[in-house]
A and B are shown apart, each in its own frame.
Chain A
Amino acid sequence: MKDKTNIIKFGFAAIVLCAVGIAGYLFHEQRVYREPVVVSENITEVKKLSDYYDGVKGTINDCNIYIFDSGVPGGTMMLMGSNHPEEPTGVMACNMFIENLKVTQGRIIVVTRVNTSGSTCTRPGEAYPRYFTQDTEWGEKKWRMGDRIGSPLDSWPDPEVYIHYPSGLNLAYMDIRNTNRNWPGKPDGLLTERTCYALMECIRQEGVDMTLDFHEAELEYPVENMIVVHQKAADVGAMVSMMLTSQTFDVPLSVDFSPEALHGLTHREVGDYSDAASYLAEVAEPMLDRIRGITDEELLMSGKDRFVMEAGKHGLLYSPMDENGWPIEKRVARHVETARKIMEVNGTVHPDQVITFEGIPSYQEILDNGCGPYYHDPSTAPADRVFYD
């Protein structure tokens, strides 16, 4: 009888151990996977974030800083992706720039993974896919699908209440790991605070004139298909909104001002703590909606969900939603075009900040061709042009 009990006990323990092994392997795989990116042959330099502030050296958030310098005097634009890693169009848009860009006047700096830590795990209880892939002519390009905030493996424990530095604003405890609640950062703070401080140092030391932070939002959220601009970018933001709404986008791109009392976000703090004018772009991502159906890579990439669509029929959404959904190429195309238009309009308002570039597909080209043709095969690219995020 005792032997039988032990057989059952240890047999079950063996099954559990297998389950732990499989789960552990999957968690570890996502944790250590690095995304190859084939940089454009016109790139000037790839730095590390720790080159600007060594407080992040050796941490997972010591990301790559891709710099494209034309050598011709002009403005400097910084593009930021994956501030919230569960909003994947940011990293896709940034990769599109990095792999194809040729700057002919001014400089463009790209930070693909602002919150690398957050991209190494998914949100507990949400059943997110661990990766998402884009079909290309050479195979699948694969990225990590992350959480909104950094991994607790890199920053733990969270305080009971997160008190933002330096404003003193009280925020939810987990926002201590949210890179878009920690700007302008704190040099001796926790990892996310130090990451934002290092990025601010990058902005200040490189003399960045404007920053654009790519985001996505659920359709139930009012800040949707919008650019949020710092007050010093109000005129350019207004013009960009009108031009893109009138001439390019089928769904309007509205504009709003950054609230002065809400701290920690790029559109507020980058503008306040540097010379740069800060912009944040939002586009609809149905997978983030609470009322969505099956949560998988298909939903993430197609942006089609019948439950969200049904909510739209009842007027419960802040963005149109029909059977065509919000496919990834449309979301990426909006971000890429918004970046282009900001640089274009800013150059007319501030003639000393002109940035011109080539190689980046237009909104219509991305819609027509998809994103695939604009990513390159790392296995056939020269080794010195392949970097990992």
Chain B
Amino acid sequence: MLVTINFVITCLYYVIALFFLIAIVRVFIKTKNVQDAMLYCLIMIPFVLRLLRLK
């Protein structure tokens, strides 16, 4: 039971991570503020590493 719950939560987690990554990429593309763009880039790092299951 716990294993199943964990599996579902993990899948949801990756979906949420993907959602936020897409959102960040979107605002990164849209923004005209260089400083904000740099910030979005840095925020993307953990999302990318998680989605690729590297960390």
In the complex, chain B residues whose CB is within 8 Å of the CB of A24: 48-49, 52, 54-55
Check if A12 sits within 8 Å of B37, measured CB to CB: yes
How far apart are the CA atoms of A118 and B49 in the complex, in Å? 18
Q: Shortest CB–CB separation between residue B12 and chain A, in angstroms?
A: 10
Binding-face segment, A106-114, A149-157, A330-338: A149-157
Check if A156 sits within 8 Å of B10, measured CB to CB: yes
Secondary structure at chain A's binding surface: helix, strand, loop or mixed?
A: helix
What's the interface size class on A, roughly? 20 to 34
Count of CB-CB pairs between chains A and B under 8 Å: 61
In the complex, chain A residues whose CB is within 8 Å of the CB of B28: 9, 13
CB within 8 Å of B: which A138-157 residues:
153, 155-157
CB within 8 Å of A: which B16-33 residues:
28, 31-32
CB-CB under 8 A for A5 and B34, given A157-B13, A189-B3, A190-B2:
yes
Check if B45 sits within 8 Å of A27, measured CB to CB: no
CB within 8 Å of B: which A1-33 residues:
2, 5, 8-9, 12-13, 16, 19-20, 23-24, 27-28, 31
A358 contacts the other chain (Cβ, under 8 Å)? no
- 7 smallest CB-CB distances across A and B, nearest first, come from A9-B37, A16-B41, A24-B54, A27-B54, A8-B34, A27-B55, A13-B41
**Which residues on B are within 8 Å of A, measured CB to CB?**
1-3, 6, 9-10, 13, 28, 31-32, 34, 37-38, 41-42, 44-45, 48-49, 52-55
